[in-house]
Amino acid sequence: MLKNVAALLLDEVHPFELGVLCEVFGLDRSDQGLPVHDFAVVSAEGPVLRTHAGFTISTPYGLDRLEEADLIAVPAGSHFVDREYPEEVLDALRRAVDRGARVMSVCSGAYVLGAAGLLDGRRCTTHWRHAAELARRFPRAVVEPDVLYVDEGQVITSAGTAAGIDACLHLVRQAYGPDAANAIARRMVVPPHRDGGQAQYIERPLPRTPCDTVGETLVWMERHLDQEMTVEQLAAQAHMSPRTFARRFQQETGTTPYRWLLRQRVLLAQHLLETSDDTVDSIAGRTGFGTAAALRHQFVRSLGTTPNAYRRTFRGPGAMAEVA
């Protein structure tokens, strides 16, 4: 059942993430035959809350309103990564799950669920910038940094900002079917379902290490991504035996030569898809994948989306279509 929905706010809440919850669950769309929810904005820290944008929000609802909610959603807020939370808030979330209600987080709201112990032993996600810290702070959580949202039954977590829309529409789809989710998405002018995950949005600059005995080889590899490379060739380039080179490479980069090379090729492909009108065949050649099929395979494995879909996402619908 998904009739009674409460958005749980803490101080310095982010308005956009709150707005997502209000848009999906708080609007009356009964004129379209869509479900209507008993929706309330609940304050966890007094009747007036600050937003991170500088204005305030007031609400008459306190924590007692959570006791009747089928879904409690926690939007992101500033300093959620390193702040403490009122124990009465965490208790309210635990009680909700104990009585069979569902809880959901948007972006850094996952830290509130983690502090309540609700991520322990569960898969979860948050904004990719906060994923490593979420895993460190809550080591019993199974953090998946590359997905848009994770549904673990009673606990749903979503990634940064707009991924909250994906999670909300997912819940609507579960409760009322695809027609309702599609109709709400159409009203919001958003896709009812997005392919891929947040991996395609993650910035992954080339790691640099202070212990740089393979540094010159890394630079050479970057400049020759379109060429075939073997460990033996790279070891010769670094004037080492293959075994020593592989060991040093792992120590200094944290990965193998093959995985490092593959990641740099995907990064270059991302850059070319964003900034050029080259065909996918041409990009496959320039990045060392050889064929469009090979590029597509590795792109989907790494980012969860196709080169063509990635180009449309970052360059708009007028982007050059995939030709292979």
* Structure confidence by residue, pLDDT tens digits, 187-245: 898 877 666 566 555 555 544 444 467 878 888 888 889 899 999 999 998 889 999 99
Q: How confident is the model at residue 321 (pLDDT cuts 50, 70, 90)?
A: very low
Domain boundary residue, one of 198, 233, 260: 198
Is pLDDT of 313 > 80?
A: no
Helix or strand or coil: residue 308?
helix
* Structure confidence by residue, pLDDT tens digits, 23-81: 999 999 999 999 999 999 999 988 899 999 999 999 999 999 999 999 999 999 988 88
Catalytic residue set: 107
How many distinct structural domains can be found in the chain? 2
Same domain, 21 and 118: yes
Answer with the residue of higher pLDDT: 14 or 179.
Answer: 14
Same domain, 177 and 60: yes
- Give domain status of residue 206, yes or no: no
CB count within 10 Å of CB 320 equals 15
- Residue at 222: amino acid letter: E
The whole-angstrom distance between residue 13's C-alpha and the CA centroid of its chain comes to 19
- What is the domain range of residue 269? 215-315
Q: Which residues contact 126 (CB under 8 A, 6 or more apart)?
A: 105, 107, 108, 110, 111, 134, 143, 145, 157, 159, 160
Same domain, 154 and 291: no
- Give domain status of residue 322, yes or no: no
Residue 192 to residues 29, 41, 86, 94, 185: CA-CA distances in angstroms?
17, 25, 35, 31, 5
* Share of residues in the chain with pLDDT > 70 (%): 91
Look up the pTM and report it: 0.66
- Give domain status of residue 320, yes or no: no
Query: Can you say whether residue 69 is alpha, beta or left, with left for phi > 0 and alpha for psi between -120 and 50 degrees?
Result: beta
Domain boundary residue, one of 164, 198, 232: 198
Same domain, 194 and 245: no
* Structure confidence by residue, pLDDT tens digits, 149-162: 999 999 999 998 78
Is pLDDT of 118 > 90?
A: yes
Same domain, 237 and 149: no
How much of the chain is helix, strand and coil, in % rounded to 5?
Answer: 45, 15, 40
The CATH number covering residue 291 comes to 1.10.10.60
